[in-house]
Every structure is written in structure tokens, then in C-alpha cells.
Amino acid sequence: MNRRNFVQKAALGSAALLAPNPFRALARRGDGIPLDQLFVGTMIIPSALYAKGVAATLDEMQALAGINTVMPFTHTHVGRQYRADYRPFEDADGHPLTDIYVRTHEAYYPDPRWADRGPATRYADRDVIDELVEAGASRGIQVYGRILEPYVITGVIPGFEVFAEEDALGAPGDHVCFNHPGYIAYWEAVIEDLVRSHPQMAGFKFGQERGGPLQNALEGKVVTCFCPHCLRKARQQGLDAEEARQGFLALKQFSDQVRAGEAPPNGRFMTFFRTLSDYPELLAWERFWMQNREDQRRRMYAQIKRIRPSVQVGWHIDHSMGWALGMQAFWPYEQMGPYSDWLSIALYFDSFGRRSKGHYDRLYKDLLFGDADPALSYPMYLSILGLDPAQEPAYVAHAAEDTEFSDEYVYREVRRAVTTVAGKAKVYGRLGFDMPKYDCDIQPEQVYQATTRMFEARVDGVFCGREWDELQPKNAEAFGKAVRDYLKRR
Ligand SMILES: [Zn+2]
């Protein structure tokens, strides 16, 4: 997944002028939704926040969308993995930005380099949580921190190369291993420092955007992780790593052959099924990998609750949950309750079309469902996802241009979470629109309707947009109007 806008946001940097604040008077009229009425959050990239100004941004959020919870990144290392040469973000003057937007304390870190904010970088002297807490207090706005996992080894975080996964052929991968003790220690240190040093931080969100080995094998990759730490843990759980290794290599071979134009004599779907039958440990290993990912969340949840139980800990459910069959099958909402206060469900209805089509093209069109014509298999794919193909754009529409999904997609996607979480955690709908580089031209009526549908699905709270600074004011305002109308009706 490409987070290109991350790059653009950071590039805004220091040159943006601090314009007069047209939203101050509006915000003073008490337009913010009181926290005890409904959770109304939004996300912001710190450099964009600083470019516009903290107070001005909060006033704008409150006046337009009724925001009462703001969630900046505290660490932005993940964005570097999408940049050429992993180079630092820069401001408009070409001055490199820090990757850590909160103060750090060396004592927490087994490797002192992890506390290094780059003293010469811009914003290394500021603390985004403290500043937002101070500015938010008088406005009734609470502050959550968030981090996305920087899972690609880029050299940005010193020592990560030691934590590399090992693939099925014994080569080091370019991703970090969930089970490496050093990697576990890194997160323990970051969380300990962040939570202890920010007693006013009301909540925290963590997540990642990487999928499991089944999907990777079908994409023709040599899968991970067969490092000594994973092998030991697998053995303790009675798994047969060798059978899994052979199975994933067989699956990759199947994928490679189909891509090369060879038609398997038993058909594509049946050959996939046959491979699962020949190597039943494939499914167990997929579950193992996904559970290793969840173990990271379980550790983090327990640690934060030990430090300060009032911190509301939630998880980033990435957009692929909506379109990847493997993700839906192997990442059950049903089981997340015990280590979740809340889940943030991605509902980016503008970008869903192109993104889900890309996934369908890579894994299903010619591969798993390649026995059928796309005119048949694409609607079936949407049906399997729980969507209504009759209400969503046809395959050819996506092929021609970016085409948004409907508010029915928004409703069904978040309703699935509400139903399966079954009250064991709160479910917040993260409505995404106006995403850069998608030519959907979303209009306020669509945002109003999509926001209203989240409430029909009985969400516990809502997030406005993917990142605040990519939203058109008219659409943020439509979101706010739908929230206010809902509260009037309720
Ligand atoms: Zn490993």
C-alpha cells in the first residue's frame, strides 16, 4: 500500500503561513460535540498540524466537524518506507524533519539510539501530545497518540536489520520479525516512554499494514518467517514448520505457473484446494503468523494497562480488511475483545474501488477465480466480501477510472465489525474521503449519507477522514452536519 500523501504532507513543512483563523469565533459558539455524547475523532500528521498552527487546526476541526478527539502520529518512521531511498521527510526549505514528535528519555531504551530524535532535524524540540493537550483542554478536545508499525527494514531505526524475518529458503527478509526479542524490546521501550511521559494522553492506537504468508505466496513471494525464534514458538505449539515451508513453496510454484500462462489440468481453484490438502500445515502456519501479529497487540495492551489503565487502547484495522479474503478469514474481530478497548475500521469509500480492484487483479482474476470470466467472478468476489454487487460499480467501471463505492459499502463493512465484535470492544468507523491521487470528486451529500449510514450500523464513534489535512472543508462540514443531525434525532 502506498501512503504517498504522507510524503506530500511532510513536504508542506515550515513555509506555510500562519493565516488568520476564521474558525475561532465559530468554535467558540460551542460547536464541538461534548465527549460524553459521542466519540468524534480525526487524525492529523504533525508536520501538517504545525504548518497550519495547533490552535487554528483545532478550531477548524471543531467548527467544521465537531471533533472532540484528535490523534496525531507520535512517530512517523513508517512513512519513510514509502520514500525513495528511505530519505527523511523535509520541510519546504529542504530541511529534514524529525521522525519522533514526542520527547524521549534515554533511560527507557536498551539501545540509546532509539531515543535519538535527530537534534538537527526540524520539530525535534517539540512535543505534539503536550501541545495538543494544552490547546485542547479549553476546547473540550482529548488527545490520543498513534503509531503505525515501521515493518520494512529501512535503516531509519538503528538495529532493525538484526530483527529481520527469515524466509522459507533461509534468506533474511526485509521485514522485521514479530517474535524477535530485540524487536519486542523496542516496542516495550517506546510504549513505556510514551505512556509514562504523557500522563494526559487519553488513548493510543497502533497497527500495521502487512498481510500473512498465504497472500504473499499467492503473489509469488518466498514467504516468512522461519527464523529460530519463530521455529521455537511453532514447536511449542506443535506446528510442523517443515511441512508449512514446503507447502508455501508449492503454493508459490502454483502461482508462478499460472502467471506464466500454464493452465493447471485440474483447474486453478481446485489446484489451490489440492495444495491445501497436500500441505494442511499451510493453514496452521497462516494462523500462526497472524496470531504472532496479534500477540504484539496483546503485549502492548497489557503493558499500557499496567502503566495507566485509563488509556483507551485501540487498533488500526487497515483498509485491506475490506478487500482481502485472507485478512477477513484469519483476523477475526470476534477474538479481539479481550485486548481491545476500541477498533478503528477503515471505510475509505473513495479509494476502495481502485484498491480492491488491484487486489482482485493480483490474486483472484486470473489466479484463484481464474476458471471463471471476470464478469462472473468479480460480482462473486464482492458477494463473498459481504457487499452487494448490484449496488457497487462494475469491474469495467474501475478499469476506466477511479469509481467510489456506495454508502451501502460503508454500512455493510462497519456493520460486520459491530456484529462480530458483539460489544466486547467499541467500534469506531473511520470514514475516508478526499484521498489524494484518487479522482472520485466526492461531494458533501455523499459524505453526509455515508456518515449517517455508520450510525445506522450502530457504531460507537466516528473518525472524520483518513488524515484531517487532506479533507475539503465542504466535506468535513458535511460530516459534522450528519453527526449533529444524528445527535438531534437520537
Ligand atoms: Zn521470525
Q: What is the 3-class SS of the chain, one letter each residue?
A: CCCHHHHHHHHHHHHCCCCCCCCHHHHHCCCCCCCCCCEEEEEECHHHHHHHCHHHHHHHHHHHHCCCEEEEECECHHHHCCCHHHCCCECCCCCEECCECCCCCHHHCCCHHHHCCCCCCECCCCCHHHHHHHHHHCCCCEEEEEEECCCECCCCCCCHHHHEEEECCCCEEEEECCCCHHHHHHHHHHHHHHHHHCCCCCEEEEECCCCCHHHHHHCCCCCECCCHHHHHHHHHCCCCHHHHHHHHHHHHHHHHHHHCCCCCCCCHHHHHHHHHHHCCHHHHHHHHHHHHHHHHHHHHHHHHHHHCCCCEEEEEECHHHHCCHHHHHHCCHHHCHHHCCEEEEEEECCCHHHHHHHHHHHHHHHHHCCCCCHHHHHHHHHHHCCCCHHHCCCHHHHHHCCCCCCHHHHHHHHHHHHHHHCCCCEEEEEEECCCCCCCCCCCHHHHHHHHHHHHHCCCCEEEECCCHHHCCHHHHHHHHHHHHHHHHHC
**pLDDT band of 17, cuts 50, 70, 90:** very low
CA–CA dist 59, 248 (Å, integer): 52
Domains of the chain, first to last: 4-75+83-209+288-489 (3.20.20.80)
For residue 19, pLDDT beyond 90: no
Distance 385 CA to ligand 1 centre (A): 30
What does the pLDDT look like over 291-319, one tens digit per residue?
999 999 999 999 999 999 999 999 999 99
Place of cell 503473489: 219
pLDDT at 10 over 80: no
Enter the pTM of the model.
Answer: 0.93
Higher pLDDT, 364 or 10: 364
How much is the pLDDT for 20? 58
Q: Considering the chain, what percentage of its residues have pLDDT values greater than 70? A: 94
Instruction: Report the separation in Å between the CA atom of 290 and the middle of ligand 1, taken as the mean of its atom positions.
Output: 12
Query: What is the average pLDDT across 1-16?
Result: 44
Instruction: Measure 230 CA to ligand 1 centroid, in angstroms.
Output: 4
| Torsion angle of C-alpha atoms 248, 251, 253, 258, degrees rounded to 10 | -160
Give me ligand 1 centre to Cα 165, in Å.
Answer: 5
pLDDT tier for residue 32 given thresholds of 50, 70 and 90: confident
- What's the gap in Å between 105 CA and the centre of ligand 1? 29
Distance 176 CA to ligand 1 centre (A): 8
pLDDT of res. 92: 87
| pLDDT per residue as tens digits for the range 411-460 | 999 999 999 999 999 999 999 999 999 989 999 999 999 999 999 999 99
Check pLDDT > 70 for residue 26: no
Task: Say how many Å lie between the CA of residue 163 and the centre of ligand 1.
Answer: 8
> Measured in angstroms, how far is the CA atom of residue 228 from the centroid of ligand 1?
7
Position 452 scores a pLDDT of: 98
For residue 173, how far is its CA from the centre of ligand 1 (angstroms)? 10
Query: 229 C-alpha vs ligand 1 centroid, how far in Å?
Result: 5
Rounded Cα distance, 411 and 455, in Å:
9
Residue 112 alpha carbon to ligand 1 centre in Å:
24
**CA 429 to ligand 1 center in whole angstroms:** 33
For residue 74, report the distance from its CA to the centre of ligand 1, in Å.
27
CA of 341 to the centre of ligand 1 (A): 28
- Per-residue confidence (pLDDT) for residue 22, from 0 to 100: 60
Cα–ligand 1 centroid distance for 391 (angstroms) = 43
Collect contacts of 103-106 with beta carbons under 8 A, ≥24 apart: 103/127, 103/130, 103/197, 104/193, 104/197, 105/193, 105/197
How many Å lie between the centroid of ligand 1 and the Cα of residue 57? 42
* Ligand 1 geometric centre to CA of 331 (Å): 19
Q: Mind listing the pLDDT tens digit for each residue in 335-392?
A: 999 999 999 999 999 999 999 999 999 999 999 999 999 999 999 999 999 999 999 9
- Average pLDDT of the chain is 94
pLDDT at 247 over 50: yes
- With cut-offs at 50, 70 and 90, classify the pLDDT of residue 28: low
For the segment 200-213, the average pLDDT, to the nearest whole number, is 96
- The region of weakest confidence among 16-30, 45-59, 116-130, 284-298 is 16-30
Instruction: Please tell me the distance from the alpha carbon of residue 45 to that of residue 3, in angstroms, as a whole number.
Output: 12
What pLDDT sits at residue 475? 98
Query: Could you give phi then psi for residue 314, rounded to 5 degrees?
Result: -135, 170
Q: How far is the CA of 177 from the centre of ligand 1 (A)?
A: 5
pLDDT (tens digit per residue) in 105-114: 999 999 999 9
Between 198 and 24, residue with greater pLDDT: 198
User: What confidence score (pLDDT) does residue 399 get?
Assistant: 87
Q: What pLDDT was estimated at residue 13?
A: 41
Ligand 1 center from residue 151 Cα (angstroms)? 13
Give the residue-averaged pLDDT of 317-337. 96
pLDDT (average), residues 86-94: 93
